[in-house]
Amino acid sequence: MFVIAVASFVGFWLANSAFVSTTTLTVTFNNTFPAIIIIALGEVFLLICGEIDLSVGFVVGFAPFFTHYLDDFYHVPGLLAILCGLLLGVVVGWVNGFLTVTVGVPSFITTLGTGFVLWGTMLYTSHAQPSGVPANIAHYGAWLGGGNKYSWLIWAVALTAVFHILLTRTRWGLHTVSVGGNLLGSREAGIKVARIKYGNFMFTGVLGALVGMQTMWYISSIDPNSGSYTPMFNAVTAAVIGGTAMLGGSGTIIGAFFGAIVLADLSVGFAVEGVSANLLYVINGAAILIAMVANVQLARLRERGGR
Amino acid sequence: MTETASGETAGHAGDVLRVEHIAKNYGAVTALTDVTMRLGKGEVLGLIGDNGAGKSTLLKILCGFQAPTSGQIFLDGREVALRSVDHARSLGIDAVYQDLALVNQLTVYQNMFLNREKVRWRLVSNRAMRREAREHLDEMGVQIPSVNVPVARLSGGQRQAIAVARSVFSDPKILLLDEPLAAMGVKEGAIILDLIRRLKEEGDVSVIVIAHNYAQVLAVCDRVNLLQGGRITLDKRSEETSAQALTELVVAEYRKALQARIAS
């Protein structure tokens, strides 16, 4: 799976070499890529443990508005408002976990529902109008990914490293794989299955909120269009073309990292070429299909090889 | 044909496990009528019987998964009520189901340490776990190519051996093996039989093996109990009986049940 991620990356890169310029590279890696990978980190964990979060894109949209409301209308101090915005992501994750794990609604449905609720709330309260970033919130951006042009990328790479270690070298990561690979067996072994799933929903939520804030700092505005289903689709796509199994049990952060690079490169590259953004969806879809077909074929070959 | 040697079941001082008059009903259906059995320290007991005789129900009761409708369970002579699988495990009873608790995607050593991972600075110490898993498997004579391969790549026998080896890791007093030889070739089954034999030699753990293949059971067990119609109808030392005798008993019972059904 890792091989495919790298191969597709190199392949797309060569094919796109015509529009690799410093400006496009800057946009690709400092803006588009971090937004995809940071959310993908959460989705990888969720997909591995057998769940999915369709609502995270709407957390991206609502978190900065929420922060702005708290600051401007309720006079909550800037830093506290930012923390509350991030906390919103945690709460949404908890609600997703509660409805999925405790109540027993499949996460596909749960998060579709919470996603729409968030979307509507954001559009209704903001009157679907963009808003400026409050001054006492704007200056925190320097530390949180909206500083110099590389700071968002640095956040993305640092978080990728942290989540890679979390997945491969901690009990949490092992148990996430275990829960997705054999739910009953994990319970048998005494793993607190519910805790793992709740936790991964909350990780995804807070990462979505973080990306929402970082987008706000990056574009110096709070845009009702910046959060919708797109950030979620991109993140899930990055995870899946990076080799994470939709049915749980396996996946890698590194794979998603390359998947996110491929997607970011494609979307910026096509924009530069003047190709309609709408066509990008076709490319994304094709990328998923090609990656998955290759995965299935490779697995079949491996099986035939006996090992 | 009730050959139950009541003198045997009355209990020995050294019994780790004693089960008295266990009954289990699921609504109107009776799975176990009246089971009385014992397990000596370091003993390997084979539990045999036709499909539907109640073997699995008995196992589920002994590992704490289900509560009996009535009857008593004694551990080291003291009566216990097994509240849950975890509770039974804390008392030293561990069950190995066919394949159930292995995670295919994880490696052998990760499975062996599942939820018991060795941690240093909050990071799992893979090297230490690999080494210990290797040593433990070697000690138990389980042969696998490497502890680093995902268990999905191993054969059925190897997987079962790893599941058994893992339970022994936690030092159980009583090990319950649910059809460890089912759906396994001769070579595969030999891995498990060797493993059980080795456990017997060490003598620290008492084992109950549920199995279908009477010859294999007799080859490895000290004693066999035959479960028929929710009761133990035979309790013999392995050397006192043969696979053929056991088969005849089961067939006779089956014929009797069939005739009863035809008559009604």
Dihedral of alpha carbons B70, B60, A50, A64, sign: positive
Q: What's the pLDDT at A306? A: 42
How many other C-beta atoms can be found within 10 angstroms of the C-beta atom of residue A157? Answer: 16
Q: Give the side-chain half-sphere CA count within 13 A for A249.
A: 16
Q: Which residues of A touch B115 (CB under 8 A)?
A: 171, 175, 186, 189-191
- Shortest Cα distance from B243 to chain A (angstroms)? 34
Quick check: helix, strand or coil at residue B244? helix
Give me the helix-helix angle, A56-74 and A107-126, nearest 10°.
Answer: 30
Question: One-letter amino acid identity for B253?
Answer: E
DSSP 3-state of B127 = helix
Q: In what order do the strands lie in the sheet with B29-40?
A: B78-80, B70-75, B15-26, B29-40, B231-237, B223-228, B44-48, B206-210, B174-178, B93-96
What ipTM is given for this predicted complex? 0.78
pLDDT tens by residue, chain B, 264 residues? 344 444 444 455 678 899 999 999 888 888 888 999 999 988 999 998 877 778 888 988 998 888 899 999 999 988 999 888 888 888 999 888 765 678 988 999 999 888 888 888 889 888 999 999 999 888 777 888 899 999 888 887 788 888 888 888 778 889 898 887 776 667 777 777 888 888 888 778 899 988 877 888 888 889 999 888 888 888 888 888 888 888 888 888 778 878 888 887
Q: Which residues of A touch B123 (CB under 8 A)?
A: 165, 169-170
The predicted pLDDT at position B7 comes to 40
Chain B residue with minimal CA distance to A186? B101
pLDDT in single tens digits along all 307 residues of chain A: 455 555 555 655 565 555 455 566 666 677 888 999 999 999 999 999 999 999 999 999 999 999 998 888 888 888 898 999 999 999 999 999 999 999 999 999 999 999 999 999 999 988 888 888 888 888 887 778 776 778 888 899 999 999 999 999 999 999 999 999 999 888 878 788 999 999 999 999 999 999 999 999 988 888 888 888 888 988 998 898 888 888 888 899 998 998 888 888 777 766 666 677 777 778 777 877 887 787 677 767 655 554 3
CA distances A274 to A257, A270, A277, A278, B18, Å, are 26, 6, 8, 11, 80
Burial of A181 (0-12, 13-18, 19+ CB in 10 A): buried
Q: Residue A88 and residue A274: Cα distance in Å, rounded?
A: 37
Asked if A252 and A1 touch (Cβ cutoff 8 Å), the reply is: yes
B263: Cβ contacts below 8 Å, ≥ 6 apart = none
Alpha helices by DSSP H, listed for B122-182, are: 126-139, 156-169
B239 three-state secondary structure = helix
| CA distance to partner chain A, nearest, from residue B233 (Å) | 32
Cα–Cα distance between B169 and B190 in angstroms, integer? 21
Please tell me if residue A136 touches chain B, with a CB cutoff of 8 Å: no
Q: Give the closest-approach CA distance of B245 to chain A in angstroms.
A: 38
**Widest CA span in chain A:** 65
Residues of A in contact with B114 (CB under 8 A): 174, 178, 186, 189, 191
- pLDDT in the model for residue B3: 41
Using alpha carbons, list the distances in angstroms from residue A5 to A60, A246, B173, B182, B212.
26, 16, 49, 40, 48
Q: Please give the helix or strand (H or E) that residue B199 lies within, else none.
A: helix B186-202
Taking an 8 Å cut-off on Cβ atoms, the answer to whether B101 and A171 are in contact is no
The structure tokens 């929903």 sit at A201
Helix (H, G, I), strand (E, B) or coil at B253: helix
Which residues in chain B touch residue A171, judged by CB atoms under 8 angstroms apart? 115, 117, 119, 124
- pLDDT given for residue A52 in this prediction: 94
Do A186 and B106 lie within an 8 Å CB cutoff? no
Q: Which two tokens stand for residue B71?
A: 């009857």
Q: What is the pLDDT of residue A65?
A: 92
Asked if the Cβ–Cβ distance from A189 to B105 is below 8 Å, we say no
Which residue in A164, A169, A304 has the most chain B C-beta atoms within 10 A of its own C-beta, making it the best mutation to test that interface?
A169
Q: In this predicted structure, what is the pLDDT of residue A273?
A: 65
Cβ–Cβ below 8 Å for B106 and A165: no
Phi-psi region of B237 (alpha: psi -120 to 50; beta: other; left: phi over 0): beta
Which residues lie below 8 Å from residue A224, measured CB to CB, with a gap of 6+?
A: A61, A65, A122, A123, A126, A128, A129, A130
Chain-centre distance for alpha carbon B257: 27
What is the C-alpha separation between B24 and B71, in angstroms, rounded? 9
Test the A interface: residue of B65, B97, B105 with most A CBs within 10 Å: B105
pTM metric for this prediction: 0.80
| Beta-carbon contacts below 8 Å between A and B | 58
For the record, the structure tokens of A80 come out as 């506290």
pLDDT given at position B8: 45
List the structure tokens of A87: 């906390």
Of B86, B110, B122, the CB nearest to A170: B122
A250 and chain B: CB distance < 8 Å anywhere?
yes
**B105: helix, strand or coil:** coil
Asked if B24 and B31 touch (Cβ cutoff 8 Å), the reply is yes
In 3D space, the residue among A294, A300, A307 whose CA is nearest the CA of residue A1 turns out to be A294
